[in-house]
Each structure stands twice: as C-alpha cells, then as structure tokens.
C-alpha cells in the first residue's frame, strides 16, 4: 500500500500538546507525519517532543536558510497528501482567511494546492466571535475542510464549543479525507485490532456493487449515467477494514481498488448479474450500483452511420432487476440492502421500493443536488421498522457508519 503523508501544522493553543497523541495515532494507521510549528505553538509543546514522535525534523522558522535551501515551503506542501492544522487557533484561521503569509505555516497555507483540514480549538467567545464566524465562512468557501470543535469545559474555566475534538476523531476524519483504509494485514498486526470486537465483520462475506453500467448502442456508443462509484467503493473499503471478505463488482469507473477487496470489473447489467451469481454465497449484499434500467434491444456489429435524415428511433429493452432477482435467489444473502437514488418524495418512494424489491433495507439518497460524483451524501435508511435519517457527511464517513449498522445486525451471528 502506498503510504499517505500528512503535513501537520501545529499552532499555539493550550491544545497543542494533543498534537503528540494525534501524531502517534496517525503513525499507527501507517500515515506518515511531518510537522510544522508556529512560534507560539513552541510555547506549549517543544519541537523536540514532536520531533521524537514524527522521527523527523520539526519545521518552524521561515527564514532558516538551510531549510529553505534543502526543503522549502513549496516542497513541504508538495510532499504531502493532506495538510492538517491541529489545533487551529483563531489567529491562524484569520491569517489564512486573509491570505497573510508571515511565517512558515501561513506561507504553506497560501502556497499549497493540497486539501487542507483545519481543526479549530479556542476559547468559546473567540469561537463565537463575529470575526471568527466570518473567517470560517470564508475558508469554507475557499475549499478548506473544517471540523467542528467539541463542547465542554475549557482550560480557561468557561464552558461551550471550542475544545479540540478527541485525537481519534481527528484521525477518522483524516482517514476519510485521504481515502486511506488500513488493509486487513495492517489491522491484524495491530494489538488493538487483534480483539475480534474491533473487526466485527471478521469471517463474513460481503458483496458490493458500485458505479454505473454501460449499455452498448453500437461498438462505439453507449447508454450511461452519472454514478461515480465513490459511495460503493467507500462501502467496500469500510467492510474490508472491519474484517469482512469483500467482493466488489464495479461498473466502468476510475477508482483505486480499496486494500483487501476483491474487485471484478464489468460493463453491462447482464455482466453484473452473471458475476453476482458467481460471487454467491454472501452474508450481506449491498447493491449500490446505478444499474441501467434499459439496454438497446439490438446492438449492431458496425457503427450506426448518419444518413442525412432523421435517425431511426432507439429501441430499448428492460434489464433484469438484479436486486429483486437476488431477493428471490435460493442463496439470498441474509441481509440484502438496496440503494435508491431519488429526486423527490425520497422516503415515500424508498418505502415502496423496499416492498417491491424484497430487500431488507433501502438506503435512499436525494440525488437532486450534486451527490452523484460529489464528496458528500445523506442517507435515509428505510427498513420494516421505520426510517433512520443520517445527515450529510463525507461518503467515506457515512460508509463506515453504514457498515457499523450492518455489523450490529449480523456481526454476532
Ligand atoms: O429501481 P431502482 O433502480 O431505483 O432501484 C435501485 C436499486 O436497485 C439499487 O440498489 C440498484 O443497485 C438496484 N437495481 C438492480 N438492477 C436494476 C436496477 C436497479 O439491482 N436493473
């Protein structure tokens, strides 16, 4: 597996000491960390302590000529997959929002083209101040990802939002942003994961379909849809991470196979159906693919030519409903989950689909926005017991949550 690299910017708040634990946890996940500290951060934690954990030089001074010659701010950013500011003080956020670059950390932020995650931590009044609100809105509009701080008692004795989230929660968010999932082997070698409770899908077979299908019109043209496959791939990755044996049947997409997942590429609905039959039995099937409802009735061997007159109408025929077929299969998985992309009356349509398809859960999502191909998704899980609605979250995060629910349902048996 290619190692992912985080450039961690530590700014000067009382929570700066938590950067040590954060770094330790990231390294445990196989993520390399290089650290940059602002000058005030060094008042709270020493570069020496952080350097011991990163096993690297800790960068700080912008005008250290030796550093600028050997590894300048551009290179620091170029060598990272993700920049994380944790803790991010009101001050560094204000500077970043204004485009001020007066030290190494802020210069990196202004010069980088890499994704940036800010994890703010500050006094509740600073967090609620109109200036901070304004700066955060600006940074979000500029594309920076920002984690909400935790609520609780602060070092200064006040109570409210502003505490740095727990390091493990920051690690989860980083993993989701990096698309980094530890492989089964990596997990097995970690003492925390030797305990089966941490791999609740160990020994279970999970089948996932993802992406669109392409249905040929002639040798060069096809019918397709906007599915990117990202949600299905994230679900397959989450299942593998939780210890399952995962087969991912993927339509034509440009995505990297998640570690530990067996991937089978197909183009058409008929090919997808044939591969599902071969992949059975499975304990769980999660049908995320946006299977084309129709295919061309006849596919000529040669390209259809323009004839200078109105084209012949395209005759279509219906594809088999793979989900409904699986629901009646003699090897029906114990838990069968369908997806429903809807643009209106989301839950109502999903509930009708649950009955029609004969599956156990329908995960409904509203695709009237930019969900297809986008970063985020919101789920409504419709079961015979009712509806559970989960808020808009990054696709990787919501995928893990779904797999946790799956594990709760079938993990014990
Ligand atoms: O009927 P609709 O396409 O809205 O249903 C969506 C669900 O059904 C998804 O889980 C999708 O993978 C599955 N499906 C299927 N075969 C089809 C069409 C959809 O398995 N031909």
Are the C-beta atoms of 181 and 237 separated by less than 8 Å? yes
Q: Give CA–CA dist 292/319, Å, rounded.
A: 7
Write out pLDDT tens, residues 104-163.
Answer: 999 999 999 999 999 999 999 999 999 999 999 999 999 999 999 998 887 778 888 999
Q: Give CA–CA dist 338/264, Å, rounded.
A: 19
Is 156 a known active-site residue?
A: yes
Tally Cβ neighbours within 10 Å of residue 394.
Answer: 18
Copy the structure tokens of residue 391: 């808020």
Distances (CA, A) of 285 to 20, 28, 189: 40, 31, 28
Q: What is the mean pLDDT of the chain?
A: 89
Q: Which residues line ligand 1 (CB under 6 A)?
A: 209, 269, 287, 289, 291, 293, 319, 321-323, 338-340
Tell me the backbone φ, ψ of residue 70, rounded to 5 degrees: -80, -45
Q: Where in the chain is the domain with CATH 3.40.50.10300?
A: 194-410
Atom of ligand 1 nearest to the CA of 326: 20
Q: Per DSSP, what are the bridge partners of residue 248?
A: 208, 263
Q: Is the pLDDT of residue 22 over 90?
A: yes
Which residues, 6 or more positions from 148, have their beta carbon under 8 angstroms from its beta carbon? Answer: 161, 165
Confidence of residue 363 (pLDDT cuts 50, 70, 90): very high
CA of residue 172 to ligand 1 center, whole Å? 31
CA of residue 287 to ligand 1 center, whole Å? 7
Atom of ligand 1 nearest to the CA of 323: 20
- Tell me the CATH number for domain 5-172: 3.40.50.1950
Any idea which residue has 């990231």 for tokens?
26
pLDDT score at 19: 97
pLDDT score at 186: 46
Q: What is the pTM of this model?
A: 0.58
Q: Per DSSP, what are the bridge partners of residue 6?
A: 33, 82
CA of residue 165 to ligand 1 center, whole Å? 39
- Topology of domain 194-410 in CATH is Rossmann fold (3.40.50)
pLDDT score at 373: 65
Q: Is the pLDDT of residue 71 over 70?
A: no
Are the C-beta atoms of 97 and 19 separated by less than 8 Å? no
pLDDT score at 180: 52
Of the listed ranges 371-375, 394-398, 404-408, the least confidently predicted one is 371-375
Q: Where in the chain is the domain with CATH 3.40.50.1950?
A: 5-172
Atom of ligand 1 nearest to the CA of 341: 4
Higher pLDDT, 346 or 299: 299
Write out pLDDT tens, residues 97-113.
Answer: 999 999 999 999 999 99
Confidence of residue 355 (pLDDT cuts 50, 70, 90): very high
Q: Is the pLDDT of residue 189 over 50?
A: no
């Amino acid at each position: 597996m290619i190692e992912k690299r985080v450039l961690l910017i530590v700014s000067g708040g009382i929570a700066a000491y938590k950067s040590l634990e954060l770094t330790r946890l990231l390294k445990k996940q196989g993520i390399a960390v290089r650290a940059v500290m602002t000058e005030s951060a060094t008042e709270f934690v020493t570069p020496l302590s952080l350097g011991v954990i990163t096993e690297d030089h800790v960068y700080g001074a912008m005008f250290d000529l030796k550093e600028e010659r050997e590894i300048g701010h551009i290179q620091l950013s170029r060598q990272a997959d993700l920049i994380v500011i944790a803790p991010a003080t009101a001050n560094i956020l204000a500077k970043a929002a204004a485009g001020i670059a007066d030290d190494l950390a802020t210069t990196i932020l202004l010069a980088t083209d890499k994704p940036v995650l800010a994890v703010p931590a500050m006094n509740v009044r600073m967090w609620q101040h109109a200036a901070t609100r304004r700066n955060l809105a600006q940074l979000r509009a500029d594309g920076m990802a920002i984690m909400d701080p935790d609520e609780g008692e602060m070092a200064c004795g006040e109570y409210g939002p502003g505490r740095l989230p727990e390091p493990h929660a920051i690690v989860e968010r980083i993993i989701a942003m990096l698309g980094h999932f530890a492989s089964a082997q990596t997990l097995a070698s970690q003492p925390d994961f030797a305990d089966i409770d941490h791999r609740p899908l160990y020994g279970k077979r999970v089948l996932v379909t993802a992406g669109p299908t392409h249905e040929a019109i002639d040798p060069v043209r096809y019918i397709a849809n906007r599915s990117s496959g990202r949600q299905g791939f994230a679900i397959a990755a989450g299942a593998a991470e939780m210890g399952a044996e995962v087969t991912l049947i993927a339509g034509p997409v440009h995505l990297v196979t998640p570690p530990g997942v067996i991937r089978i590429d197909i183009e058409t609905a008929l090919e997808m159906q044939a591969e599902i039959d071969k992949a059975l039995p499975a304990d769980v099937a999660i049908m995320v693919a946006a299977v084309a409802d129709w295919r061309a009735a006849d596919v000529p061997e040669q390209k259809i030519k323009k004839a200078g007159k109105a084209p012949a109408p395209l005759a279509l025929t219906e594809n088999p409903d793979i989900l409904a077929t699986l629901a009646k299969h003699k090897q029906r998985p114990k838990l069968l989950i369908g997806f429903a992309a809807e643009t209106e009356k989301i839950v109502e349509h999903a509930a009708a689909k649950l009955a029609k398809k004969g599956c156990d859960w329908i995960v409904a999502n509203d695709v009237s926005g930019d969900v297809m191909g986008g970063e985020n998704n919101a789920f409504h899980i419709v079961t015979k017991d009712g509806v559970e609605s989960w808020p808009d979250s990054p696709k990787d995060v919501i995928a893990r949550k779904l797999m946790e629910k799956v594990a709760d349902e079938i993990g014990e048996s």
